[in-house]
Structure 1
């Protein structure tokens, strides 16, 4: 008998080696001369009458650089699992000479755009998952927890708050001693996810290597503790001896592990069914 875990891992391997279903480039925002796009991945077959959960990925890079290519393997996998996935480009210092605050404005704009155009993309607007790694993990968490830093061209009647979070070694502490404080300064009080956890925070899964030089294990554990205190689900997975970025596709063993756990987490929320888990006798 092949166990369910092995079947899921096999599917992850097959999907990862066949990055497949990039459907279209969508412009979601225009700021002066800067056009911002998201790359959309869809299931191979879309049922017109059906509404699908959406997963929105924000790349890492310290708000300085980075590429949407970082999460292509994850987007390919989850699109074939039945999600509408978007790889979001946003403004960063190296390309647009912007600050972390503009990066957050763009992340919020992207989720508002997806929710506003949910019918166009066959998306269930009540099942939007924000995901990201490092500074992209900060953006995902901040769309849920930070009230300020909204683009003045956004339709603020449309919520930018996702319904679930999948965070890969996210930069969740921007306070003194945390990542980015040299650029954020005292604005951390309204910018740092750790300092703004509130009741009704979306259910979250948090992946971290214990040797991460940027995010201490204690910070992740404290984040989980505060989430539980406000009554929100927060699953924390610590990976012994792993450093920053351990979950990326090039570290295939940990790519598989984190994708597998994220899949099960989304099943627990009712966002995914158990199709990969097939009993073979």
Structure 2
């Protein structure tokens, strides 16, 4: 009888423990591929090459060479930078953009950069350094890459748009190992729903911290910034539309060319989700680059 009582008490305590144990949350469903993801899935770069090594981390350029490409060419270059809040994302996300311009005769490149993380100590400043290093590498190796060093277009989406703008604006943020005699300033900028204001009214203020103004493109506009086109939706609550508008106004006031293509009601990343909007963006970018003599 005593043995049965012990078994009964053990069973009760086990049930109580199970009922008080926290239940596991169901795993988050992976994001469904959007229009750009679907295009990227079937694309493969011509080659992948290292442009920089930091400690044991190698950073790569994913290169799409145009048909008929040969060593010694002097073609324009379209460098695209992925977004992800500086903390996520990979180069394949932006393959369709690089491949589009490779089809039009340019060398298309999607670049990798270090991702911001408190655990690893990588800051947004480091992300900026990588973007500027990439442009310098392309210029320094222009002959090897078959690129005209004076026909470099830098583009990016969201945080990648911020890094694209950074190549032209943040003169004092450079990797110690970079050759500062080589300019990281591109010949044109194509910014897709970019992080353009890092104040509390914009995006990234908490990630950057008290030095946010050093990382805020809208606060660094000056005469001589490369011609720029921005694609932004008025319904963007991640990187607010007001920042893009303020950047354009500052650019025009400084005597720079800056076009702002407005998508009424467009949310953050709108052009990545809809093939028709993506195609419209690329078509308008083509016209812009042709007007600058950067695309035939």
TM above 0.5, one fold? yes
Which residue of structure 2 lines up, in the alignment, with residue 187 of structure 1?
211
Deviation at 1:258, TM superposition (A): 0.6
Which residue of structure 2 lines up, in the alignment, with residue 254 of structure 1?
277
- C-alpha separation in 2, matches of 1:114 and 1:50: 14
Stretches of structure 2 that go unaligned for 5 or more consecutive residues are 1-35
- Could you say what secondary structure the match of 2:76 adopts? strand
Shifted more, 174-183 versus 231-240: the winner is 174-183
Structure 1 position 87 matched with structure 2 position 110:
yes
String of CA shifts for 1:154-212, please: whole Å, max 9, x gaps: 11111111110000000010123221111223322222110001110000010001111
Which residue of structure 2 lines up, in the alignment, with residue 60 of structure 1?
83
- Could you say what secondary structure the match of 2:236 adopts? coil
Structure 1 position 25 matched with structure 2 position 60:
no
Deviation at 1:244, TM superposition (A): 0.6
Stretches of structure 1 that go unaligned for 5 or more consecutive residues are 1-12, 274-281
Which residue of structure 1 lines up, in the alignment, with residue 202 of structure 2?
178
Preserved contact between residue 79 and residue 153 of structure 2 (Cα < 8 Å): yes
Residues 271 and 153 of structure 1: is their aligned pair in 2 closer, same or farther, counting only changes over 3 Å? Answer: same
- C-alpha separation in 2, matches of 1:103 and 1:18: 25
RMSD: 1.8
Shifted more, 142-151 versus 210-219: the winner is 210-219
Which residue of structure 1 lines up, in the alignment, with residue 236 of structure 2?
212
String of CA shifts for 1:19-74, please: whole Å, max 9, x gaps: 55621111000000101111001101125554101111110000111111221111
- C-alpha separation in 2, matches of 1:85 and 1:96: 30
Q: Which has the larger radius of gyration?
A: 2
- C-alpha separation in 2, matches of 1:179 and 1:215: 6
- C-alpha separation in 1, matches of 2:40 and 2:268: 23
- C-alpha separation in 2, matches of 1:37 and 1:51: 22
- Could you say what secondary structure the match of 2:210 adopts? helix
Which of the residues 21, 41, 45 maps onto 2:64? 41
Preserved contact between residue 19 and residue 73 of structure 1 (Cα < 8 Å): no
Which residue of structure 2 lines up, in the alignment, with residue 114 of structure 1?
138
- C-alpha separation in 2, matches of 1:267 and 1:243: 28
Larger relative contact order (C-alpha < 8 A, sep ≥ 6)?
A: 1
- Could you say what secondary structure the match of 1:247 adopts? helix
Which residue of structure 1 lines up, in the alignment, with residue 7 of structure 2?
none
Shifted more, 216-225 versus 28-37: the winner is 216-225
Which residue of structure 2 lines up, in the alignment, with residue 244 of structure 1?
268
- C-alpha separation in 2, matches of 1:218 and 1:31: 36
Taking structure 2 as the reference length, what is the TM-score of the superposition?
Answer: 0.83
Taking structure 1 as the reference length, what is the TM-score of the superposition?
Answer: 0.87
Preserved contact between residue 72 and residue 143 of structure 2 (Cα < 8 Å): no
Which residue of structure 2 lines up, in the alignment, with residue 144 of structure 1?
168
Residues 165 and 47 of structure 1: is their aligned pair in 2 closer, same or farther, counting only changes over 3 Å? Answer: same
Deviation at 1:104, TM superposition (A): 0.5
